[in-house]
């Protein structure tokens, strides 16, 4: 038998050892790569930083005391205006009514609820005043609404002298009323404003002719608003609406300058 030289055997062994080492290293590398791919999170599972979820700070608002201080009073309008003694009788008998046109119905609902701009989103203060000479009643509110929402509502109110220039409203207590809607003249106060002048004419259950005259207005001053209704079954003093808005806008502006609270 021919004997293989020792140096040839040694070289073969070293060659096999090197190949095994390379295969083992390659296998480990492949396993590591496979582990890296399969354990990586999917894109949908990647966490965002807290900043990505952060919401802007809420707008500062008036405190209840500040909103109350921004109201007008009977003293501002003078005699014969006094603090209200209760809801006027015409409120339920004439404003609780149905109309065919959706925009006209929305207007009636807003007037009946005393929420021309909707339900306030934050602090509000309200006062009611009566004019005992002519049986008029004035409802005045200071409240916070999102400015963009207010501006949309003001734009809608501006369309009503065309959309609801004259329509029929069916009341639950006073029969059918003919309603006319025109634009009201308001003092140039606040950042945005809109007003309407309405008359509701009909016949009472006793057969008498009745006419309700109603002024309604909304004024936005920054992040706060003034809403007002001034109505009665006689000639409503037109100067009361303008006077209330002029005094009230200045008073609200003065209160805003005192500083607001962050919520």
User: Is-cis flag, bond preceding 80, omega within 30?
Assistant: yes
Instruction: For residue 136, give every residue at least 6 positions away whose Cβ sits within 8 Å of its Cβ, in sequence order, or none.
Output: 130, 230, 231, 232, 234, 236, 237, 240
Instruction: Look at residue 235 in the predicted model and tell me its pLDDT.
Output: 73
Quick check: 196 and 160 in contact, CB under 8 A? yes
Query: Which segment of 52-66, 72-86, 108-122, 156-170 scores lowest on mean pLDDT?
Result: 52-66
Closest CA to 91 of 142, 117, 128, 141: 128
Question: Which pLDDT score is estimated for 62?
Answer: 87
Sign of CA dihedral 114, 116, 120, 123: negative
Between these two residues, 263 and 235, which has the higher pLDDT value? Answer: 235
pLDDT of residue 189: 97
- How far does CA 99 lie from the centroid of its chain? 25
**Percent above pLDDT 70 for the chain:** 75
Q: What is the mean pLDDT of residues 208-235?
A: 93
Q: For residue 203, what pLDDT is reported?
A: 85
3-state DSSP call for residue 236?
Answer: coil
- pLDDT at position 46 is 27
Which domains are present in the chain?
A: 64-256 (3.40.1000.70)
Q: What is the pLDDT of residue 36?
A: 39
Say what the pTM is.
0.75
Residue 263 confidence (pLDDT) = 47
| pLDDT per residue as tens digits for the range 30-88 | 444 333 333 333 333 222 223 233 233 344 678 999 999 999 999 999 999 999 999 99
Instruction: Please report the pLDDT score of residue 133 as a whole number.
Output: 87
User: Which among 242, 194, 249 has a CA at the least distance from the CA of 224?
Assistant: 249
Tokens coding 1:
């038998």
- State which H helix or E strand residue 20 sits in: helix 6-39
Instruction: Report how far residue 245's alpha carbon sits from residue 74's, in angstroms, rounded to the nearest whole number.
Output: 13
pLDDT category at 237 given cuts 50, 70, 90 is confident
Q: pLDDT digit string (tens) for 194-219? A: 999 999 999 877 778 889 999 999 99
Residue 104: predicted pLDDT: 98
Order of strands across the sheet with 81-83?
A: 81-83, 124-131, 136-144, 224-232, 209-221, 192-203, 176-183, 166-171, 97-98
């Amino acid at each position: 038998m021919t004997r293989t030289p020792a140096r040839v055997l040694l070289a073969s062994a070293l060659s096999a050892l090197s190949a095994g080492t390379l295969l083992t290293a390659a296998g480990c590398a492949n396993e590591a790569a496979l582990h890296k791919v399969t354990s990586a999170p999917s894109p949908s599972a990647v966490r965002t930083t807290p900043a990505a979820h952060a919401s802007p700070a809420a707008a500062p608002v008036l405190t209840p005391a500040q909103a109350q201080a921004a109201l007008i009073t009977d003293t501002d309008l003078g005699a014969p205006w006094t603090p209200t003694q209760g809801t006027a009788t015409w409120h339920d008998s004439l404003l609780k009514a149905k109309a065919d046109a959706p925009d006209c119905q929305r207007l009636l609902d807003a007037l009946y609820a005393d929420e021309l701009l909707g339900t306030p989103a934050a602090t509000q203060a309200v006062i009611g005043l009566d004019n005992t000479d002519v049986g008029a009643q004035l409802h005045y509110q200071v409240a916070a609404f999102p400015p963009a929402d207010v501006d949309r509502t003001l734009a809608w109110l501006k369309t009503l002298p065309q959309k609801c220039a004259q329509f029929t409203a069916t009341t639950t207590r006073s029969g059918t009323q003919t309603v006319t809607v025109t634009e009201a003249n308001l003092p140039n106060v606040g950042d945005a404003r809109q007003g309407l002048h309405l008359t509701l004419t009909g016949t009472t259950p006793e057969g008498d002719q009745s006419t309700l005259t109603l002024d309604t207005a909304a004024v936005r001053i920054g992040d706060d608003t003034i809403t007002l209704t001034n109505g009665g079954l006689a000639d409503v003093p037109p100067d009361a609406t303008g006077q209330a808005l002029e005094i009230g806008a200045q008073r609200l502006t003065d209160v805003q300058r005192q500083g607001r609270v962050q919520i």
